[in-house]
Amino acid sequence: MAEIIVIPNQQTPKVPEIEDIELFFFQNIKQLQEFKDYACTRFDAAGLAANQVSLNDYRFMVRAFAFKRFYDQEAVWRLIIDPVITEYIGIKEIKCEGCLTWKGKVIVAERSRAVRVNYYNEIGEHTIGEIYKGFEAQVWQHETNHLNGVEEQVEERSFIEPKPISVGRNDKCPCGSNLKYKNCCLLYI
């Protein structure tokens, strides 16, 4: 396997969107597998964007990230290719997140409680409109920001995360929908 390392202490550059998905798979299948194999060795991460790492001393600029899910306590890494968040759902809150790029620091970012996404899997199947909630939604937002070159707010680990928004079930939802919380963003917790 190629030597892969996380590129430290820098904002990740934007990765171009894929225009020809079949050509992309044909040209990048070996690198995609190496990237996924490397992600599987990272027990300290729930996601890893391709532009956070180097392969053979050159920038690996494919629009992909590996995402860890847990099925019956077993960690399973999935390769997500050309991900697009089509909808941010629910209340947005400030979150502090660890990041392999910023060792010993935290990223402070506004995150929605759920997201609707489109993507290709590692064999080229297209998924449209899948919803991720909670921590998984947070991982999707974090990693797609890496891919899109979004500059993140990086703080010392001592930064104090704001308390979560507290809303009663029958209160008006803070997202601005004019619905009761129980009929709106509570559905995405």
pTM of the model: 0.87
In this structure, what DSSP letter does residue 178 have?
Answer: S
Cβ atoms of 67 and 27 within 8 Å: the answer is no
Type of residue at 50: A
pLDDT at residue 87, as a whole number: 94
pLDDT tens-digit map of 79-113:
999 999 999 998 888 999 999 999 889 999 999 98
Task: Give Cα separations from 35 to 1, 30, 59, 134, 151 (angstroms).
Answer: 10, 9, 12, 25, 23
CA pair distance 77, 89, nearest whole angstrom: 25
- CA 110 remoteness from chain centre: 13
Q: Which residues pair with 126 in a beta bridge?
A: 120
Chain center to CA of 83: 9
Per the DSSP assignment, residues forming a β-bridge with 114 are 89, 133
d(CA 3, CA 97): 26
Q: Is residue 174 within 8 Å of 165, Cβ to Cβ?
A: yes
Choose among 37, 109, 100, 30: nearest CA to 66.
Answer: 37
The DSSP output letter for 46 is: S
What DSSP designation does 71 have?
Answer: E
C-alpha–C-alpha distance, residues 114 and 131, integer Å: 7
Query: In the structure, what pLDDT confidence band is assigned to residue 189 with cuts at 50, 70 and 90?
Result: low
Residue 188 near residue 174, CB atoms below 8 Å: no
| pLDDT tens readout for residues 132-183 | 999 999 999 999 999 999 998 998 888 777 777 778 889 888 877 888 888 8
